[in-house]
């Protein structure tokens, strides 16, 4: 399978990617991100450990890699209204915590 675009050719700034380094244990960082979302009015709509999934299914040997999908219902509703329902594919807003 080939992708219609080269992911390495996409600049992080073009897709809204931001990075922050947290000097804490992995599980503490996940909790910190959860709390930051809550404080900003977001809920966690999805959450999973990609590393656990990949390590279990294909013995990938991945270090801890956790995905949290946040959603602010009011913002999501406004985005759907403003985009004639086209923005749904971007929900939820994902944040990745990895070690």
CATH code of the region 24-98: 3.30.310.70
Whole-number pLDDT of residue 90 = 85
Q: Which residue has the tokens 């922050």?
A: 20
**Could you tell me the pTM of the whole model?**
0.78
Domain-wise residue ranges, the chain: 24-98
Query: What does the angle CA 32 – CA 33 – CA 38 come to, to the nearest 5 degrees?
Result: 100
The low-confidence residues of the chain, meaning pLDDT below 70, are 3
**pLDDT tens for residues 40-64?**
999 999 999 999 999 999 999 999 9
Whole-number pLDDT of residue 9 = 80
């Amino acid at each position: 399978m080939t992708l219609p675009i080269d992911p390495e050719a996409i600049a992080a700034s073009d897709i809204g990617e931001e990075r922050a380094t947290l000097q804490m244990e992995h599980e503490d960082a996940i909790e910190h991100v959860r709390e930051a979302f809550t404080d900003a009015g977001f809920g966690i709509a999805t959450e999973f450990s990609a590393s656990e999934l990949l390590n279990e299914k294909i013995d990938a040997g991945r270090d801890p890699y956790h995905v949290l999908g946040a959603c602010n219902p009011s913002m999501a509703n406004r985005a759907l209204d403003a985009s004639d329902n086209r923005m749904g594919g971007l929900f939820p807003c994902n944040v990745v915590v990895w070690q």
